[in-house]
Amino acid sequence: MKIDPHLMNDRKAYYFFCEDLFQKHKAKGEPCYKKVWEGEMEHPEDLKFQKNVQFELPHPLELAKVENNYFEAIDYEVDGPAMSCADGDSYEFAEGSPYTNDVLDRAVIPQKHRLNDKVKEILGLDYARSMINTQLTGNIIPPHTDKNSWMMNYLIDQKVDDNYDWTDIKRYFYFYDDQKYGQMMMMGDEMVTWKKGDMIEYPFWMKHTSANAWHQARPILSITGCGKKVTWNNLD
Amino acid sequence: MKVDFDILSDKKRFQDLCEELNRQHTGPDYEILWNKKIDFPAYDLASDVYFEYGDKPNDYPGDETSSFFLGDRDKPKNAVLDRYILKEGDPIKARFEQELGLKASRMMMNVQKQGTYIPPHSDRGKSFLLECRDKGLTDDLEWLQIKRYIYFLQDRQVGQFFQVGDSQLDCKAGDLCQFPMFKVHTTANAGPQVRHVLAITGV
């Protein structure tokens, strides 16, 4: 199934696309995430963090490119812990967002940074975008599925988007610290557990959410990649 | 081990007690006792009741030595609940007391709004137990006879976290969850809907 970047501009169509992939994924008995690597990754000290980057409503693909949004997220309310809803209201709340703390501190790793090269090498990726996302005490990220607009735009700009299938889009989290009590993350309908140095992979369509009730920050390296290495059962 | 009000008044000793009881505990972190749908009235909630940090064990279960929040300036605004304490004579309170065989109880409707959280803690329930003492209910009371329950008014929504011990609760509307009084617990609501629970402490 070749990537159709224009699907990104129709949030409802993209949502149902993700929902369909999720259902097929679960029907095959696949986990919502899996640990794929463990080891030590650099936490560069020379990065400039953006403070309080807020969870964004979804934008069209072109706008995401201009605005360099991070949370090119898309979501609809669901009726249970699984991604099983058919439809519902969106996060565009009629009376405004109920959240004030749906934020992360983040630093994007420059494309030519050695850390990005290491990420590509370890994970067998042709392209990667990595960023450190630090969730401070008391902050949450609502359930969402990422549009990965940056990667889509990058593939278009590189004129290589025809070479890839949807399943070549990869998502990973690398955990810089042990999980602390009250640091919670959910992938699909599964709770995530981790140790320092764990790298987990999850399908790009997987809904996820997190909260940090512990008194220390939770830093992770969030990676969006593209590569031909098969990491999940083929869903075509 | 009988309830000791000197321990109850000393945060550190109470924390040590909870850790010791937790070490001795061999059962599950929590149990679902039953599921019944119960209609609740619309209570007059107090908004944004702040979490009382005096009740939390400082460093449980990690080895950090810093406390959660050192002073008012460090208090995050999102560690709050909307709350209503059920009064004596409330039919809901009477019903739960009867069904659970409680001689006395404190019941609170806790409403967790989107984006709020409660840090990890164990509840001392000090004021409730002082009331119990005044009623003569604590003379031979064992620590483990202090019962904790959470009644869930709604199905769990994605993004709603409720951790007891090492377990995440995955509750349905009408579930009554029981957990030992010494268990550390924490919650967060990252979902798009508010969460209503009835928190019960009883003897």
DSSP of B133-147? HHTT--TT-BGGGSE
- CB contact under 8 Å between A81 and B170, yes or no, is yes
Is A53 part of a structural domain of the chain? Answer: yes
What pLDDT is attached to residue B50?
77
Is A213 part of a structural domain of the chain? Answer: yes
Beta carbon pairs, A and B, within 8 Å: 111
Rounded distance between C-alpha atoms, residue A107 and residue A133, angstroms: 7
What distance in Å separates residue A144's CA from the closest CA in chain B? 10
Is A231 part of a structural domain of the chain? Answer: no
Give me the percent of chain B exceeding a pLDDT of 70: 87
Structural domain boundaries, residue B116: 5-202
pLDDT band at residue A189 using 50, 70 and 90 as cut-offs: confident
pLDDT band at residue A236 using 50, 70 and 90 as cut-offs: low
What is the CA angle B145-B161-B180, rounded to 5?
10
Which of A99, A181, A209 is the closest to B184 by Cβ? A181
- The predicted model gives B155-166 an average pLDDT of 92
- CB contact under 8 Å between A100 and B193, yes or no, is no
B79's tokens: 């560690």
pTM of the complete model beyond 0.90: no
Q: Flag whether pLDDT at A92 surpasses 60.
A: no
Asked if residue B164 lies in contact with residue B18, where contact means CB atoms within 8 angstroms, the answer is: no
Rounded distance between C-alpha atoms, residue B122 and residue B124, angstroms: 7
CA distances from A131 to A105, A119, A222 (A): 10, 11, 5
Which of B62, B157, B184 is the closest to A180 by Cβ? B62
What 3-state DSSP class applies to B110?
A: strand
- CB contact under 8 Å between B115 and A100, yes or no, is yes
Q: Flag whether pLDDT at B64 surpasses 50.
A: no
- CB contact under 8 Å between A78 and B157, yes or no, is yes
What distance in Å separates residue B124's CA from the closest CA in chain A? 19
Transcribe A104-169 into DSSP letters.
Answer: EEEEEPPTTSHHHHHHHHHHT-SEEEEEEEEE-TT-EEEEEEE--HHHHHHHHHTT-GGG-BGGGE
The tally of domains found in chain A comes to: 1
Contacts of A182 in chain B (CB under 8 A): 117, 119-120, 163, 186, 188
Q: Flag whether pLDDT at A76 surpasses 70.
A: no
Q: Flag whether pLDDT at A180 surpasses 80.
A: yes
Q: What single-letter amino acid sits at B89? A: G
- CB contact under 8 Å between A138 and B117, yes or no, is yes
List all residues 6 or more positions away from B80 whose beta carbon is below 8 Å from its beta carbon: B48, B49, B50, B51, B113, B116
Please report the ipTM that was assigned to this predicted complex: 0.88
Interface contact A88, partner B, CB < 8 A: no
Q: Is B164 exposed, middle or buried (0-12, 13-18, 19+ CB in 10 A)?
A: buried
What pLDDT is attached to residue B45?
93
CATH code of B193's domain: 2.60.120.10
CA torsion A145→A150→A152→A153, rounded to 10°? 150
Average pLDDT, chain B: 87
pLDDT band at residue B106 using 50, 70 and 90 as cut-offs: very high
Which of A80, A91, A216 is the closest to B155 by Cβ? A80
CATH code of A19's domain: 2.60.120.10
Interface contact A140, partner B, CB < 8 A: yes
- The predicted model gives B77-94 an average pLDDT of 93
Which is nearest to B61 in space by CA: B123, B106, B116, B19? B19
Structural domain boundaries, residue A25: 5-226
- The predicted model gives A63-79 an average pLDDT of 41
What distance in Å separates residue A52's CA from the closest CA in chain B? 14
Which of A98, A141, A181 is the closest to B61 by Cβ? A181
What pLDDT is attached to residue A68?
41
pLDDT in tens, A153-175: 788 888 877 788 888 999 999 99
What pLDDT is attached to residue A96?
58
Give the dihedral sign, CA A89/A92/A95/A98. Answer: positive
pLDDT in tens, B30-59: 999 999 999 999 999 998 887 665 444 443
Q: What single-letter amino acid sits at B46? A: A
Q: Flag whether pLDDT at B203 surpasses 70.
A: yes
pLDDT band at residue A79 using 50, 70 and 90 as cut-offs: very low
Is A234 part of a structural domain of the chain? Answer: no
Interface contact A47, partner B, CB < 8 A: no
Look-up of token digits 């402490």: B201
Rounded distance between C-alpha atoms, residue A44 and residue A132, angstroms: 9
Q: How many CA atoms lie within 13 A of B91 on its CB side?
A: 5
pLDDT band at residue B69 using 50, 70 and 90 as cut-offs: very low
The tally of domains found in chain B comes to: 1
